[in-house]
A and B are shown apart, each in its own frame.
Chain A
Amino acid sequence: MTVYNLYIFDREGTCLYYHEWNRRNQSGICKTEEYKLMYGMLFSIKSFCSRMSPIDQKDGFMNLRTNKFKLHFYETPSGLKFVLNTDLSVGNIRDTLHQIYSSIYLEYVMKNPLCVQGDVIESELFQTKLDDFVRGLPIFATKLS
């Protein structure tokens, strides 16, 4: 199991934070373009799901898999979006994404009055805590490279 990378978007579509751990293939476009592309896709998938779903949906879009990787998506009612890419063997990690929100984002960004909402997160404390958290996850277990 491996965790590749993580995006955090706010409700305006700004990429608040991005970090990669084991990304082997780069997109070849500049990061800001990549964020926009990612956000645009999430936005479209969300509206696709809400329109196409033949039944009432509670949680909406949760994850997406290709033959190479799996994208996990978690959105809070306030519109924050957490996106974590992992390999295919990872199951449902909604709890984990919620924990990133409640015990890392909330504690080290929202409760830090110096972190302005809607700005890219530059707090080192947040970055360290997030990195520690993700590295400590059982799904992070990877062949050390």
Chain B
Amino acid sequence: MSRQTTRAVDPRKVSGELFTLTYGSLVAQLLKDYENDDEVNKQLDKMGYNIGVRLIEDFLARSNVGRCQDFRETADVIAKVGFKMYLGLTPVVANWSPAGDEFSLLIENNPLIDFVELPEGHSHLNFSNILCGALRGALEMVQMDVAVWFVQDQLKGDNLTELRLRFIKRLEDAVPAGED
């Protein structure tokens, strides 16, 4: 009963370099505009958030992943499906907190920093901070309030990039007015 809708080859596939370079010039422009690493981080996070809240719909529609039952399943989906789909890499999920509400994504080859060397005096800049915002925004749309931040960054001399995610709370569905 379903009908196939026509879709061009796959307009979503673009050269990874185009993406990396576009992102690089975005960050460079922000650095010019704000001249303050913390403010740039904030802007990147905000942009990421705005991307995330839309990206999640694309993700859900294409992957057909249902609701996750727990945070561990969420971690798996993010690493194995989400990152794979949009960045073509699979981070390692590691360093679970004993309570199971915190984990790290270990990224070995961060595609966003392919051509980047951090100049002197930008020790506070989280170059790939857009990822934090995107994860937060996307998860918020599936009723999960999470905090995301950088623990390690290859640009700052670490061996890999480590993103930490902490589950804060489950957001409840909106109740229609007049019901309890």
Contact = CB atoms under 8 A, between A and B. Distances in A.
A106 B61 contact: yes
Interface string A91-119: 11101101101110110001100000100
Interface residues of A, number: 34
A11 B174 CA distance: 7
Nearest to A109: B57
Contact of A36 (B5, B60, B177): B177
B56 interface: yes
B142 interface: yes
A102 B61 contact: yes
A36 B58 contact: no
B7 interface: yes
B119 interface: no
Interface stretch (B62-70, B83-91, B94-102): B62-70
B1 A44 contact: no
B59 to A, nearest CB: 9
A103 B7 contact: yes
B1 A93 contact: yes
Contacts of B5: 99, 103, 133
Question: Number of contact residues on B: which range applies?
Answer: 20 to 34
B149 to A, nearest CB: 24
Contact of B1 (A11, A58, A96, A111): A96
Given A95-B2, A96-B2, A102 B62 contact: yes
A92 B141 CA distance: 27
B173 interface: yes
B67 A77 contact: yes
B107 interface: no
A79 B66 contact: no
A62 to B, nearest CB: 13
Contact of A77 (B1, B2, B60, B62): B60
Interface string A27-44: 000000000100110011
Contact of A106 (B58, B67, B141, B179): B58
A84 to B, nearest CB: 12
Interface string B36-63: 0000000000000000011011101110
Contacts of A101: 61
Contact of A95 (B1, B142, B178): B1
Given A12-B174, A79-B173, A80-B57, 13 more contacts: A11-B173, A13-B174, A43-B173, A43-B179, A79-B143, A93-B1, A95-B2, A96-B2, A103-B7, A110-B57, A110-B58, A133-B5, A136-B3
Closest 5 CB pairs of A and B: A102-B61, A95-B2, A103-B5, A40-B176, A78-B141
